[in-house]
Chain A
Amino acid sequence: MGLVDKGRMPKPLTHLFNLGRSYSLWVYQWGLACCAIEMGAAFGSPRYDVMRLGVIPLPASPRQADLVVVSGTVTDKMAPAIKRLYEQMPEPKYVISMGSCANCGGPYWDSYSVTKGVDQIIPVDVYVPGCPPRPEALLEGVVLLQQRIKNEDMGARWRGEGTKNLVKHPIVVGGGPVE
């Protein structure tokens, strides 16, 4: 592990590790509102079947998860709980923000009780727009995230530095190529 921490990994090994990580993502489902049902359809229904992408949607707790999908309206009352559960996840961790509400507040942009975007609380890797997005869109978000993981410098992510670039280079489903 010393190699990974110091960022002195041989290239083939990095590639191998990243490949392994990208195809064994354990997803913690943070279902909040309407999008939770579409997330359920993507993760739990026979039609969309997320496991074929190498994603396992049923970890027992956030402490075992690599990825959290925040789907739905984040309220100011809910925000501390989201922050706390995110902090319980081990590094490296990834976040998909699903739906307009989690992205920016959505139809509740002027509400007094809704947080205008989950990225105000935790760093977000992939934004999936839509109200709610179709299950296919969420699956595309997962695929885009896997592409990013494959090209990642593991050392930086392990040290928690990977999230710094997220604001500059967000991935948006349907929004162009991945950096």
Chain B
Amino acid sequence: MTDLVDRQKLSYIAAQAADARLNVELETEGMTLNIGPQHPATHGTLRIIVRLDGEQVVWADPSAGYMHRGYEKLTEVRTFPQVTSLINRIDWLGSFANEVPFILAAEKLMGVEAPPRAQWIRTILFELSRIANVSLFLGDLGVQLGAITPVFMAFRDREYVLNLIESATGGRFHPNFDRIGGLKDDLPKGWILETRQVMKKLRNFCDEIENLLFGNAIFQIRTRGIGIIPKEVALQYGLSGANLRASGVDWDLRRDQKIPLAYDKIDFKVWTHPDGDSFARCWIRLQETREATLIVDKLLDGLPAGPVMAKVPRIIKVPEGEAYVSTENPLGEMGYYVVSQGDLGPFRVKIRTASFNNISIVPWVLRGVFVPDVITILASLYFILGDIDK
């Protein structure tokens, strides 16, 4: 592992030498290709500058910042309850999941714990936002490879999940439902029954996608053996979530840490794949979506009764201290390092987002691949711009 950087340097030097030799032989110059910032092949506004030698990428440099909104500064001028409405919008596809680690960090500093029912509902909504997030990834995956149909199916079935979130929280996209000490409200009547039906539909959706996309020969050729990330490199770059598990690292924060959510009360599978290529990353996400629907079903079975809000003062003042809480968000490990100095608002919040680390590996993984594979590798790494740029 110590020779990792050396290996990287060597491969870079070799690539440069090959580039130079080719240029001398053929009297050609390398070509610089700009993708983005607004480009159909990028989700959101990531700009990538790649230097090409023929069809091969010699060097790639992602240029982020087109969606930088300054979250870490803005949290310093807002109170704790105000922050949750802001951080919904970091990873905008799984917005409820963004609130949970921040609320948990604030609760940890205050020494408050949400009642069991609130924890279970939090976990259910957390998994629903995972389904809403990753189902769009599965649809979008087809578009990146030239298949239009899956995205329509994804938008169709995602609506059911959004309806569930809306009927429970009142917000279709950005619920802002989590409160320090519990939840804003209890679940509406009939919600549990409806959720079970929707979960069945979503499992059907997963089967459809698996048949349509993952069994497709073109899809397999375009993704298998492409963009391989070995385990050591993945750890060094701090990859997390499905990207890490696709490289064979058995690490899931839902299972592997003590956290006041209901994950330790139920039994679920954590999927890993030994290959580390684009196909593995996509396949893990498909399995996780299916697993999430099963988790929701199991949580609904054991949902305890009781209040959904603990006793907290009306004006929230968080005692002095520091806490880091991270959860397994749809994109990977999302954590908040909250520093409080006993004020109404946080003193400093470091937001550790999953996509930032997941995309920082792009210069490494794109070196030497062919141009069409750039798009599939980016798609399989799965980022959301708000999650990179904060």
A–B contact with Cβ pairs below 8 Å: the answer is: yes
Q: Closest residue of chain A to B70, judged by CB?
A: A111
Is the pair A132, B173 in contact by a Cβ cutoff of 8 Å? yes
Is the pair B93, A37 in contact by a Cβ cutoff of 8 Å? yes
**How many contacts between A and B, using CB within 8 angstroms?**
82
Chain A residues closer than 8 Å to B66, beta-carbon distance? 75, 77-78, 81
Interface centre among A34, A46, A81, A111 (most CB of B within 10 A): A34
Residue of B85, B92, B159 touching A45 (CB-CB under 8 A)? B159
Number of chain A interface residues as a range: 20 to 34
Q: How far is the CA of A40 from the CA of B92 in the complex (A)?
A: 13
B65 on interface, CB distance cutoff 8 Å? yes
Q: A152 to nearest B CB, angstroms?
A: 28
Is the pair B386, A34 in contact by a Cβ cutoff of 8 Å? yes
Q: How far is the CA of A112 from the CA of B72 in the complex (A)?
A: 11
B371 on interface, CB distance cutoff 8 Å? no
Q: How far is the CA of A45 from the CA of B157 in the complex (A)?
A: 10
Q: A38 to nearest B CB, angstroms?
A: 7
Chain B 42-57 near chain A by CB (<8 Å), digits 1 or 0: 0011000000000000
Chain A residues closer than 8 Å to B68, beta-carbon distance? 75, 77, 113
Query: A residues near B, CB below 8 A?
Result: 30-34, 36-38, 40-41, 44-47, 72-73, 75, 77-78, 81, 85, 107-108, 110-114, 131-132, 134
Query: B residues near A, CB below 8 A?
Result: 37-38, 44-45, 65-70, 73-74, 77, 85-86, 89, 92-93, 95, 136, 151-152, 155-156, 158-159, 172-174, 385-386
A–B complex contacts, Cβ < 8 Å, 28 sampled:
A33-B92, A34-B95, A34-B173, A34-B386, A37-B136, A38-B173, A44-B151, A45-B155, A46-B156, A47-B156, A73-B69, A75-B67, A75-B68, A77-B66, A77-B68, A78-B45, A78-B66, A78-B67, A81-B37, A81-B66, A107-B89, A108-B74, A110-B74, A111-B69, A113-B68, A114-B69, A131-B174, A132-B174
